[in-house]
Chains A and B, each alone.
Chain A
Amino acid sequence: MIVCVAIVGHQNNPLYIQSFTEGDDALKLHHVVHCSLDVVDERVNNPKKSGPMLNETYLGLLYPTENYKVYGYLTNTKVKFILVTTDLDIKDADVRNFFRKFHAAYVDAVSNPFHVPGKKITSKTFAERISTIVKAFGLSSAG
């Protein structure tokens, strides 16, 4: 199950963060997303280690903990997409696909002339679209 998705700006500032847990515990997911930026930074600052992944937007698994996984995606404009899931058995291709849709939704949201670049995304349409993508991901990975 996807518990959280987030978009983080090029200055590592949160642009959009949405958790999908039932409890009132979004803050812990803020923490998980924020700390995962360490791994993104590390990958970006050490191109040697990432090697062939250098030109790839999809960063793969950032965080293999015992109980949840964090995946990352980095656009050319250094905007990061983060996905936190408690589903430990997850296909890489599915995640990749998810990020692609997520990215497309983001591009549409920031193309809105009323959106100020660098500001948080508050669009309801965007939030609904993300919810749909997340739900669809849950169905596809379950099936």
Chain B
Amino acid sequence: MANFLAQFQTIKSSSDHIVISVEDVSGLWPTVKKGFEERLPFKRACLNNKTRNSVFVENLPAEFILTTDARLRSRFPHEQYLFWFREPYATIILVTCEDLDEFKTILKPRLKLIVQNDEREWFIVFVSRAHPSNDQATKMAKKVYSKLEVDFSSRKRERCCKLDIHSPEANFWEDLDFKIVESIRNTLDRRVQFYEDELRKLSEQRFMPVWNFCNFFILKESLAFIFEMAQLHEDALREYDELELCYSETVNVPGKQRDFGGLERGDEQAALLNSGNKPLNEIVQDDSFREFEFRQYLFACQSKLLFKLNRPYEVASRGYSFIISFSKSLTSYESILPFCMREVWVVTASLALIGATSSHYKEGLVALDVEKEFHRLEGDLYSLCRLKFMRLAYMVGYGTYLERSPVNSASLSMLPWPKPAVWPSIPPDASSEVLAKEKMILQASPRPKHFGIQRKQLPLEPSILLREANRRRASLSAGNMLEIFDGRPIDGVVSPSNKPHTAAMVRTNSIPGNFESSIDRPMRLAEIYVAAEHALRNTISNPDLLKSLSSLEEFEQKYLELTKGAADNYHRSWWKRHGVVLDGEIAAVSFGHGNFDLAAKSYEKVCALYAGEGWHDLLAEVLPNLAECQKILNDEAGYLSSCVRLLSLDKGLFLNKERQAFQSEVVRLAHSEMKQPVPLDVSSLITFSGNMGPPVKLCDGDPGTLSVNIWSGFPDDITLDSLHLTLTATFNTDEGVKALKSSTPIVLNPGKNTITLALPPQKPGSYVLGVLTGQIGKLKFRSHSFSKGGPAESDDFMSYEKPVRPILKVFNPRPLVDLTAAISSALLINEPQWIGIIVRPIDYSLKGAVLHIDTGPGLKIEESHAIEMESHTDVMDKTTMENRSLGEKNNCHSLKIEDGQVEFPDWASETNSVMWIPVRAVSDQLPRGSSSGAYSGLYLIFMYCRLMTDV
């Protein structure tokens, strides 16, 4: 049966619709043809699917062909069964007759002859040519037709219908459609049944030696094609799925070694969407097909049906899995396939799949999640293609131009090198190309990172290519590695400090003619690149791909196209992180081209992503790039904020030297001529909190000092030109914000600093720390706006916030001091005597306090004596206070009175004390020394204490 493969494919490609044969008994076809063909394609044809359920096919294309047509004649009976799908599904017998006798004698026997073949589905269309005005003719036609019905219709099956040419009945055409579709349905059912029976028989033998996959295939595909012609694509797809399953089950039977295929020129161009790529008879092997071509053929058939079912999403989904699994097969045959066949095939397959699915895909027609999933798959396809393309580019020497980013490293360094049986060797006349590659290697030095950041570069190689390639060369032993490396840095671990020696340029090996002996010595890197390039030119037949690898510019263009494709699609899917990360790769290219604006925008997105989720290690890789863009673009605000962000990252991520570089940039910019003062948020770098312990307590209207802890994340000392700290009242949010200022420069050491700020008088209430702002040069910075209970740790993301603690309490007015007279006995008129005042501070320091004394009329302070003061406890020790007399010197301190004011000594600020004031009651009437009850006490008119901290 396999011999029919070629014929089968030709027939299949030429017939794509159902055929209805027309037996034109009475030569009526030209008359009715137009009317009949207007009915095509059939609308809402009711057919049965494989599971015998009714399915309405919206548009069923068909063609009427006369039985006398060459296409329906001269077929051998065995062909009929094999290619049954092209046989007519219904036979319409067109007759007319105007005479009963003629019907009986001529027409009826002829019709009986035609319909005796029971296998066919047939029905008779009686055409009446009688004019409606001609009653005689009309009657006769009716008679003949009823006779026809009696003879050919049965109770089970209505097989006749009548068409009046002059006035067709309204329901004739519907009746015709119904009868045709009914016939098609019956034929379809019968044929499907037949094929299924045959297939069942065959598949039962599939593990027997007689099994022939080709036979099974022809039957199975015929069945699939029958469904496809009937527009039952779902059923057709199922047949192909089963075919694939059966193939994979039987193709890899152990003991039967078959050719894999894929060795012909052009095979590297994926044909997974082109079922007609190769004739099937060319890929037959023994009793089956070659895997390489056949699996692609099957996928092409499946995808064609899926596109017809309007499911490009499923093509992408199945396609991605297909590429991955096919790529695995290619890996296992890698040693016999052309060099890098797998990589090239994946590139072409992904591109073909992306092209086909995106052109069939219409936005907004499917559910949102399907749409997202579709874009995710497209993104995956682009990524896969991008990865293999990068690998190819690396093989030909563009590796140094590939960004050694985490994303590239993750995919490339875990992707094994190609494993050809023998690594390609260098063609004899390639000396100039080798020289060019040498030059390229020498010229490429990794771009030094901004701020002088030095990092070990991430690998793009699973192992060192030089070693891998030389190891795989047949005649070569492992060799002396030093000789191989030739004193040059190993590819992939080129560090800026380890630049290739310029002496390597003048190398004797570069002399033409020396290459013939190259087979015996290890190849150098440049030679490996050239050899790979030549081998790839043999592998790749696709001119576009060849062009993309032909020069660095072409490579970059393709690389950008693939990266953008992947990023765009990921952005439209659930996988935002994938998209943003690839944006970063695009940014690197933009940067290289001097599009710093574009680069900065993309880098910003990447940084925002990493910063938002606290992935500092990754952020540390990208942020310097963003900073560099901002610096070039003169974006001072952005640059400053990037520097601050760099400083606030985990300390271990950068060397101290690098962190100092960030700081010096901040300071340099802050003191430079900035166009406008730039506000800067340093929340993560400068944090502050109040002192541990109880809050400072003050009374209403009192000034004071407040000490605050400030943590500096700068690696070096930093000078703050001014500092403002707000206090927020907890009782009143409207006017509760008070600003504390320190206009003298403050130097912050790295780590904890305690600074003291003067506190002007505040309203009563309790206060918490608010915002810390300040200036470094022209730079206005602002820290976080809440007080933290403890020091901000390096990863203050998600910092555990403690409840805000009051730092200052200002109390309502209350008595702060108690003054009482030490003596309440009567005074002698005109006699100087001591009057004592006991001063008791009430939970309040009297430091710097001033006592105002106004004696009032009739009493005078004796200015010849100094006022004295002693501790109250000392006084209590004495036997009696009345014993005191002027001039008695005890443990007393002299104080001066000026304008009725006495300054308190510091020792007396916290303790109870007694102030002795020399007074004399004055009276003109009374003689000196007489006693009077009227002046029995000292009039303390007014006493006023004030803390002198603001003096």
Chain A bound to chain B? yes
**Contact residues of A with B, CB < 8 Å?**
9, 11-14, 23-32, 34-35, 37-39, 41-42, 45-46, 48-49, 64-68, 86, 116-120
Residues of chain A lying within 8 A (CB to CB) of residue B575: 35, 38-39, 42
Assembled-state Cα–Cα distance A67/B798 (Å): 35
Q: A110 → chain B, closest Cβ, in Å?
A: 13
Q: A48 → chain B, closest Cβ, in Å?
A: 7
Contacts of B560-619 to chain A: CB distance below 8 A: 574-578, 581, 610, 613-615, 617-618
In the complex, are the beta carbons of B407 and A31 less than 8 A apart? Answer: yes
Q: A18 → chain B, closest Cβ, in Å?
A: 12
Per-residue 0/1 for B785-800: is the Cβ within 8 Å of any A Cβ (1 yes, 0 no)?
0000000010101101
B456 beta carbon closer than 8 Å to chain A: yes
B356 beta carbon closer than 8 Å to chain A: no
Q: Taking A13-B798, A14-B614, A67-B415 as contacts, is the C-beta distance between A38 and B576 under 8 angstroms? A: yes
In the complex, are the beta carbons of B415 and A31 less than 8 A apart? Answer: no
Per-residue 0/1 for B456-492: is the Cβ within 8 Å of any A Cβ (1 yes, 0 no)?
1011000000000000000000000000000000000
In the complex, are the beta carbons of B415 and A66 less than 8 A apart? Answer: yes
In the complex, are the beta carbons of B413 and A25 less than 8 A apart? Answer: yes
Q: When A and B form their complex, which 4 residue pairs have the shortest distance between CB atoms, in order from nearest? A: A31-B406, A13-B614, A28-B410, A28-B409
Q: A23 → chain B, closest Cβ, in Å?
A: 6
In the complex, are the beta carbons of B614 and A25 less than 8 A apart? Answer: no
Assembled-state Cα–Cα distance A23/B404 (Å): 14
**Residue in contact with B406 in the complex, picked from A11, A27, A117, CB distance below 8 Å:** A27
In the complex, are the beta carbons of B410 and A66 less than 8 A apart? Answer: no
Assembled-state Cα–Cα distance A86/B416 (Å): 11
In the complex, are the beta carbons of A116 and B413 less than 8 A apart? Answer: no
Residue of B nearest to A24 (CB): B456
Given A46-B369, A86-B414, output 12 extra A-B contacts at Cβ < 8 Å. A14-B614, A25-B413, A25-B459, A27-B409, A30-B615, A34-B615, A35-B581, A38-B574, A39-B575, A42-B574, A65-B411, A120-B795
Residues of chain B lying within 8 A (CB to CB) of residue A25: 409, 413, 458-459
Residue of B nearest to A117 (CB): B800
**Residue in contact with B458 in the complex, picked from A27, A116, A119, CB distance below 8 Å:** A27
Contacts of B390-424 to chain A: CB distance below 8 A: 406-407, 409-411, 413-416
Assembled-state Cα–Cα distance A118/B793 (Å): 13
Q: Taking A27-B409, A66-B415 as contacts, is the C-beta distance between A37 and B574 under 8 angstroms? A: no
Contacts of B348-375 to chain A: CB distance below 8 A: 369
Residues of chain A lying within 8 A (CB to CB) of residue B369: 46, 48-49
**Residue in contact with A28 in the complex, picked from B413, B416, B577, B798, CB distance below 8 Å:** B413
In the complex, are the beta carbons of A13 and B797 less than 8 A apart? Answer: yes
Residues of chain B lying within 8 A (CB to CB) of residue A41: 574
Residues of chain A lying within 8 A (CB to CB) of residue B406: 27-28, 30-31
Contacts of B471-521 to chain A: CB distance below 8 A: none
B324 beta carbon closer than 8 Å to chain A: yes
**Residue in contact with A31 in the complex, picked from B574, B618, B793, CB distance below 8 Å:** B618
The residue in A23, A32, A67 that gathers the most chain B C-beta atoms within 10 A of its C-beta is A67
What's the dominant secondary structure at chain B's contact region?
helix
Residues of chain A lying within 8 A (CB to CB) of residue B716: none
In the complex, are the beta carbons of B324 and A68 less than 8 A apart? Answer: no
In the complex, are the beta carbons of B800 and A118 less than 8 A apart? Answer: yes
Residues of chain A lying within 8 A (CB to CB) of residue B578: 35, 38
Q: B383 → chain A, closest Cβ, in Å?
A: 9
In the complex, are the beta carbons of A11 and B798 less than 8 A apart? Answer: yes
Residues of chain A lying within 8 A (CB to CB) of residue B409: 25, 27-28, 31
Residues of chain A lying within 8 A (CB to CB) of residue B621: 27
In the complex, are the beta carbons of A14 and B615 less than 8 A apart? Answer: yes
Residues of chain A lying within 8 A (CB to CB) of residue B798: 9, 11, 13, 118-119
B871 beta carbon closer than 8 Å to chain A: no
Residues of chain B lying within 8 A (CB to CB) of residue A49: 369
Assembled-state Cα–Cα distance A39/B800 (Å): 29
Assembled-state Cα–Cα distance A64/B407 (Å): 16
In the complex, are the beta carbons of B413 and A27 less than 8 A apart? Answer: no
Residue of A nearest to B342 (CB): A66
The residue in A14, A23, A66, A116 that gathers the most chain B C-beta atoms within 10 A of its C-beta is A66
In the complex, are the beta carbons of A27 and B415 less than 8 A apart? Answer: no
Residues of chain A lying within 8 A (CB to CB) of residue B614: 11, 13-14
**Residue in contact with A27 in the complex, picked from B328, B577, B581, B617, CB distance below 8 Å:** B617
Assembled-state Cα–Cα distance A54/B459 (Å): 38
Q: Taking A23-B459, A28-B410, A86-B414 as contacts, is the C-beta distance between A34 and B800 under 8 angstroms? A: no
In the complex, are the beta carbons of A28 and B324 less than 8 A apart? Answer: no
Residue of B nearest to A39 (CB): B575
In the complex, are the beta carbons of B800 and A37 less than 8 A apart? Answer: no
In the complex, are the beta carbons of B459 and A66 less than 8 A apart? Answer: no
Assembled-state Cα–Cα distance A48/B372 (Å): 14
Residues of chain A lying within 8 A (CB to CB) of residue B327: 66
In the complex, are the beta carbons of A119 and B324 less than 8 A apart? Answer: no
Assembled-state Cα–Cα distance A86/B369 (Å): 30
Residue of A nearest to B369 (CB): A46
The residue in A27, A35, A46 that gathers the most chain B C-beta atoms within 10 A of its C-beta is A27
Residues of chain B lying within 8 A (CB to CB) of residue A30: 406, 615, 617-618
Assembled-state Cα–Cα distance A13/B797 (Å): 9
Residues of chain A lying within 8 A (CB to CB) of residue B458: 25, 27-28
Q: Taking A24-B456, A38-B574, A120-B795 as contacts, is the C-beta distance between A11 and B581 under 8 angstroms? A: no
Assembled-state Cα–Cα distance A11/B612 (Å): 9
In the complex, are the beta carbons of B410 and A31 less than 8 A apart? Answer: yes
Residues of chain B lying within 8 A (CB to CB) of residue A86: 414
Assembled-state Cα–Cα distance A48/B406 (Å): 33
Residues of chain B lying within 8 A (CB to CB) of residue A26: 617
A–B complex contacts, Cβ < 8 Å, 11 sampled:
A11-B798, A13-B615, A24-B456, A27-B458, A27-B617, A34-B610, A38-B575, A67-B411, A118-B798, A119-B795, A119-B800
Assembled-state Cα–Cα distance A86/B324 (Å): 16
In the complex, are the beta carbons of B800 and A11 less than 8 A apart? Answer: no
Residues of chain B lying within 8 A (CB to CB) of residue A116: 800
In the complex, are the beta carbons of B410 and A32 less than 8 A apart? Answer: yes
Assembled-state Cα–Cα distance A62/B414 (Å): 17
In the complex, are the beta carbons of A45 and B574 less than 8 A apart? Answer: yes
Residues of chain A lying within 8 A (CB to CB) of residue B576: 38
In the complex, are the beta carbons of A67 and B613 less than 8 A apart? Answer: no
Residue of B nearest to A46 (CB): B369
Assembled-state Cα–Cα distance A48/B576 (Å): 20
Residues of chain B lying within 8 A (CB to CB) of residue A42: 376, 574-575
In the complex, are the beta carbons of A64 and B577 less than 8 A apart? Answer: no
Residues of chain B lying within 8 A (CB to CB) of residue A64: 324
Assembled-state Cα–Cα distance A24/B456 (Å): 7
Residue of B nearest to A88 (CB): B328
Residues of chain A lying within 8 A (CB to CB) of residue B415: 66-67
**Residue in contact with B581 in the complex, picked from A14, A31, A117, CB distance below 8 Å:** A31
Residue of B nearest to A10 (CB): B798
Q: B498 → chain A, closest Cβ, in Å?
A: 15
Assembled-state Cα–Cα distance A116/B799 (Å): 9
In the complex, are the beta carbons of A34 and B324 less than 8 A apart? Answer: no
